Amino acid sequence: MQLESPNLSYIKELADGDTEFEAKLISILKKELPKEKEAFIKSVHAKNYQNSAELVHKIKHKISILGLEKSYEFSISFEEELKNDNPQHYEAFLSILQNMEEFLITI
């Protein structure tokens, strides 16, 4: 899967010029994403795929907020796979999360 480049377009649209709101939203992403990623990894390693699916569900909204349309669609499919105890695309999803984290570090 070709990784997309995260962007702030949606956040800027939501903020509508309110830089304080924009900064707060970015701060939330920076704070929550690493924790959710860690919980997701632990959940998959424990083979608790239902919980893993719930975590993907939470994370996919952050994927959308960062303008990653293809990754968002991928996460919908991956969430369903996990509900069926199939973690086959675990590495691909981790790549998406890593891509997001690396972007958030730069802003």
Domain spans in the chain, listed from the N-terminal domain onward: 9-106
- Which pTM value belongs to this model? 0.92
pLDDT of residue 3: 84
Q: How far apart are CA 2 and CA 22, in angstroms?
A: 28
Q: How far apart are CA 44 and CA 6, in angstroms?
A: 25
Interval 45-69: pLDDT, tens: 999 999 999 999 999 999 999 999 9
Q: How far apart are CA 107 and CA 105, in angstroms?
A: 6
pLDDT of residue 1: 65
Query: With a cut of 70, which residues of the chain have pLDDT below it?
Result: 1
Q: With contact defined as beta carbons under 8 Å apart, do 48 and 69 qualify?
A: no
Q: How far is CA 33 from the centre of its chain?
A: 7
pLDDT of residue 96: 97
